[in-house]
A and B are shown apart, each in its own frame.
Chain A
Amino acid sequence: MGRFPVRFALLALLAITAAASTARAQGLRRFAIVAGNDTGGGDTKSLLYASADARKVHEILTRLGGVKPEDATLLIGASASQMLSAIVAVEMQAAEAARRGERTALLFYYSGHAKDGALRLGETRIPVDGIKARIASSPIDVRIAILDSCKSGAFTRTKGARKAPAFEIQSESPRDAKGMVILTSSTSDEDSQESDTIGGSYFSHHLASGLLGGADKSGDGRVTLFEAYAYAYDRTVADTAESAAGAQHPTFSYDLAGNGDLVLTDVAVRHEGVYLPREAPSGVYFMVDGKGFVAAEISKADGVDRRVALAPGHYRVKRRLPDRLRIGEIDVPRGQLVALAEARLRDAPFSDDPVKGAGRVDLTSRWSLGAGATYQSVFAAPSGASLFPPTGMLAVDLSLRNFLRRDWIWSFDVAAGSADGVVTSVGAPFKFSEVSLASSLLVEWPGRYMTPFVGGRIAMLLMGRRFTDDIYPQQFFSTLSPGLVGGAAFRVMKNTSLVARGRLHYLLYNIDEDRSLGYWELAAMVSYDL
């Protein structure tokens, strides 16, 4: 569900003016700059879905929004200078188009961190006022900026953002529209929230669902800017009303010379997707793609039909009733619009809900490599020590963060060491050697300077000993050893941390007899973020 705090996303978009009548307008050249950045510098927490949201919007605009692929720029994890360069490039293209007599539109979308009056693109920043002024001054007829980020309402504040549900603007002379429109995911004092369940930010998720057809209130097969905003507003407020972070209210700023509703997507042009007929029951329909992501969340009212321009593929469909689910599956072939009859759905308990959350976040995951020294000792000394003497080891570990879940660490480590020991009962000295191969699953609580973590670990221990003067044969032992891990990482440089770690492990020894030997281990390591 809603994950607080948040994420910032900003999306600016410019687009079209389309003549009111259309995204298929003649003579309108559409450009798009779509940016997503999960990181926002050392004092922010990584977002999970900002990049994914950007990819989704990019896909919709190029498939349904009349933006040619060569006119769409997707920036994932880009810096401030890369974003500014992309704007300059589009401006040059737009100027060239204008010289040919074409009208131009730009849709600028940003999803990511915003803080202290600046968009945060990794370690770089762009002042909100600066990017806003830059887009406003671009020599493009219609500019639409959409920001999905915390407190993004600041972007519209000076333009008198309206915190209001959908509204209608009728255009009398759409072809002449010029100016700028701004949508933000939240007001200037609200956080923008992500959801693991839907696998994205609430605002971008509902905006995307609206662009796919959910927002086509008029039923004409075209989703206008105002329809999309109204749909995203209603659904975002509804979904976040009960969240811990509080309700999130998207904002809208409209400054166009000449009224005109702007068609953002044409869901009829490709004639493919899912069709919800007029007689289908009302409610919210979830379309879940093969990867488990909610591709669309469509709110259907009684007596209306909906065309959902899903990309070809296989989808699971869910509609929630008070006491049960209605679920089913549907295939969308290329170039075909498939009707979703109620008969395709069946009753199912809530436990069979296909919407279980994205489950993983591969876009924000990152690797780190650590090296250091450990010291381990069995608890059952001295008898245990005559089997497994206290041992110092050198260790290397490779950790993957935010792959399985946010703030989860999946790590792999290998360590090797040796020690001298004596089998006291026979007075036999030996050289003990050990290699461990292990994997850990940890949960961390990132802080600015210190990040504590705890978790579990399973280790494959390979141990052996060689007796002095070879008076006895070499001996070997291997076992799987589960354990607990705890510690803290202390950031000392931008990508470097010192790690102090302790482990408690269970060690089953079953050669002479079944013995449960525990061992403890302390480690000091240096970890570097790759």
Chain B
Amino acid sequence: MTCKSFLPLPLAGEGRGAGKPLWVAFVLLLSTLAACGNYSNEDLEYMNAVPARVDIAAVIPRSLILPANEAELSRLTHDVINAFNGALLFLEAADVIRRYQPTSRIPHGRVWGPAQMEEHPDWQWRFRITRDPAAPDVFSYWFEVQRFDGGDVWISFIEGTFVATGGVRRGTGHFHIGTDGLRAGGFPVDINAKGELLKDLDVEYSTAEFPIWVKMHMVLYTDAGLGLFKDTVMIDYRHEAQSNGQGAMEFSGTDSKTGWTLSIVSRWMSTGTGRADARAINGAGVDMTRTQCWDDSFRQTYDYTPWDQPPDPIEEGRIEDCPDISTL
């Protein structure tokens, strides 16, 4: 006989915390009768297969007090990384599985929930994860939501795969977040202040060894605030991180209305010193690249901006003073 463990996930229909002492007393009573608990190595392997935000978020040196004359592309890099990391906030939903034991252990899998959603009391969620019996290192998982009166229909919110290579959350994986199904099912999605809504987010990553890399493809509805859900922008990120603190971020965005594509490749040292190359192209054959470098206080040390005063672009500083960073 296996009893439930000591720190259970509050399930749908259960009060949070209410009656917990009795529950604990009951478990302690049960534990005197038979083997009981949540002591499991396999649980850890399932938990290990789901990425934590901290594992794949980009880390760039920054100061609490940035100079007023911070290099423009340094500031843009910080903004891009903030956006990149912000997109990964969705992963915090999956972090719940590392706070609670599985609700049930199924053959070759684990299930957390169903549990009531705190911010949407009419909805409940569950997290399922399975492993391939023929390839035990390969995991698939789904984070799903359901309206309480929604019958048997569960709407997928996050789904992903992971191939473990050993170590704490070390491996390669992919996950997809989509909101179209949520909207269709009536789930109250959040639209940001700009009237944007994430449509799709696809993330591939490898934490198996350095450099750790993450590729993110994001599609945003830009007219969500108007309730149209037609116009979109696609943004692509690629991030790499070395064990010595070096990092790089490639950002690429395309505006479906203007046809312009802007791509920026930023690289930085663990000290904060960095360089960014921003390339702008459009369908009319314009293709220009701006290069800017900064020191460890994020002040510009070099800048070449081809589009400011064509045909005689501005060049300030010496390109030789830019750091040589091989990442990306």
Contact = CB atoms under 8 A, between A and B. Distances in A.
Partners in one complex: yes
B101 interface: yes
B189 interface: no
A477 B37 contact: yes
B244 interface: no
Contacts of A367: none
A479 B101 contact: no
Contact of A479 (B36, B45, B98, B105): B36
Interface stretch (B147-155, B164-172, B230-238, B252-260): B164-172
B37 A475 contact: yes
B35 A426 contact: no
Contacts of A473: 7, 38, 98-101
A508 B37 CA distance: 12
Nearest to A479: B35
Interface string A462-474: 1111000001111
Interface string B192-206: 000000000000000
A478 B41 contact: no
Interface in B16-56: 31-45, 47-48
B289 interface: no
A500 interface: no
A387 B40 CA distance: 8
Contacts of A509: 35, 39
Given A474-B7, A477-B35, A512 B168 contact: no
B168 A426 contact: yes
A475 B38 contact: yes
B6 interface: yes
A460 B28 CA distance: 11
A472 B42 contact: no
Contacts of A428: 44, 48, 168
A512 B37 CA distance: 11
Q: Which one of A464, A508, A510, A511 has the highest number of Cβ atoms from chain B below 10 Å of its Cβ? A: A511
A511 B36 CA distance: 8
Contacts of A480: 32-35
A425 interface: yes
Contacts of B101: 473, 475
Given A426-B44, A426-B167, A511-B2, A471 B98 contact: yes
B5 interface: yes
Given A425-B45, A428-B168, A475 B36 contact: no
Nearest to B54: A471
A508 B101 CA distance: 20
A511 B39 contact: yes
A45 B6 CA distance: 50
B98 A427 contact: no
Contact of A512 (B1, B41, B166): B41
A471 B47 CA distance: 10
A439 interface: no
B6 A476 contact: yes
A170 to B, nearest CB: 71
Contacts of B42: 512
A188 interface: no
B35 A508 contact: yes
A425 B39 CA distance: 15
B5 A423 contact: no
B88 to A, nearest CB: 18
B41 A386 contact: yes
A465 B101 CA distance: 14
Interface in A399-440: 423, 425-428
B282 to A, nearest CB: 47
Contact of B44 (A463, A472, A508): A472
Given A426-B48, A471-B168, A511 B40 contact: yes
A511 B45 contact: no
Interface in A471-519: 471-480, 508-512
A478 B35 contact: yes
Contacts of A479: 31, 34-36
A472 B42 CA distance: 12
Contacts of B7: 473-474
Interface of A: 386-387, 423, 425-428, 460, 462-465, 471-480, 508-512
6 closest A-B pairs by beta carbon, nearest first, are: A477-B39, A477-B37, A479-B35, A478-B31, A427-B167, A512-B42
29 contacts: A386-B41, A425-B45, A426-B44, A426-B45, A426-B167, A426-B168, A427-B167, A427-B170, A428-B44, A428-B168, A462-B31, A471-B98, A471-B168, A472-B98, A473-B7, A473-B101, A474-B7, A476-B39, A478-B31, A478-B32, A478-B37, A479-B31, A479-B35, A480-B35, A508-B35, A509-B35, A510-B1, A511-B38, A512-B41
